[in-house]
Amino acid sequence: MKTKATVLLLIVTAVWGLTFPIQKLILVEANPFFYNSLRFLTAFVLTLIFFRSKISWKKAIVLGLFLGVAYATQTSGLKITTSTKSGFITSLYIPFVPFFSYLIERKKPTFFQIISFLISVVGLYMLNDPTHDPFNFGDLLTVICAVAFAVHVVMVTHFTENNQNEISLLAPQFLVTSLINGALAPVYGDFKINLGFIFVMIFTALFATIFAVWVQLKFQKYVGSNTAALIYVGEPIFAAVSSFIILSEKMSRVQFCGMILLVSAIILGAIRKVYNSKGE
């Protein structure tokens, strides 16, 4: 089951990475909150159709609040910053996971995880290369997104560890996320919709939302929060490669070095002592 869980989570990681450049294409003119609201409303309706299960509202609403904040800040930040930077800054949630895992699950961070946080700060600074691409408000929003995603990852493991009906947590998350973003939509006040918007919205609703969150709820508990975080290391890599292919985005040497540091921090942040990992 661990092998199956790992493969499925890796597929989810690749899908998430791909969403950065394709969403960047349509967010140039689109309202990010309106887009998110429709994306998650579509996911909510489709989930009710395809997955019929008793709903656990209390836990699902908690998950939905963090998921809603994460996507609201990520998508609005992506409208301002580059796809590549957004992908790597979002990935900071990975070294954040052990700290929230300790607060929520009482699992102490390892020495490597503590060091990873310090390295990630340096990597983030270099990735944003003030001489090439200064840290902007979009980057700040994406950092907030990373914190929200970290809490969401840990809460998913916490809520599903002894829950055999993970589907009960699926639909309400999407509804809450849709409502949060819908409430923020008037901030941009532009509700344009075109074919590109519809295609990306449906693609992300099906694969990056329904499929991805279902896999998290169903399989993440078999590998644990920290191991899942290690798998998610691939997300910024997939985002950078996809952004290069689709958007022709390039990085300076300093940003590339920052990327290497950030990936190193992410890997260190997911490392556990050998005797602990055997029991996971």
Which residues, other chains included, contact 228 with Cβ-Cβ below 8 Å and sequence gap of 6+?
Answer: 9, 97, 153, 157, 216, 220
The whole model's pTM is what? Answer: 0.81
Helix 234-247 / helix 2-27 crossing angle, nearest 10 deg: 40
Distance between CA atoms of residues 61 and 280, nearest Å = 28
Place of tokens 């989930």: 47
Domain contains 267: no
Distance between CA atoms of residues 280 and 278, nearest Å = 6
Residue type, 178: S
Domain contains 269: no
Give the pLDDT of residue 214: 92
Total domain count for the chain?
A: 1
Residue type, 168: S
Domain contains 244: yes
Domain contains 226: yes
> For each of the chain's 280 residues, which pLDDT tens digit applies?
888 998 999 999 999 999 989 998 998 888 999 999 999 999 999 999 888 767 778 889 999 999 999 999 999 999 888 887 888 888 888 788 878 888 887 767 677 767 877 787 787 777 666 666 778 899 999 999 999 999 998 998 888 877 667 788 889 999 999 999 999 999 988 888 999 999 999 999 999 999 999 999 889 888 887 778 778 877 877 888 898 899 898 777 887 888 788 778 767 766 654 334 433 3
Domain contains 280: no
Q: What is the DSSP string of 13-64?
A: HHHHHHHHHHHHHHHTTS-HHHHHHHHHHHHHHHHHHH------HHHHHHHH
112 neighbors 57 (Cβ within 8 angstroms) = no
Domain contains 260: no
Structure token pair of residue 171: 């639909």
Give the pLDDT of residue 269: 65
Domain contains 89: yes
Give the pLDDT of residue 274: 35
Distance in Å from the first CA to the final CA of the chain: 12
Q: List the domain range (segments joined by +) for residue 215.
A: 2-94+134-251
Domain contains 195: yes
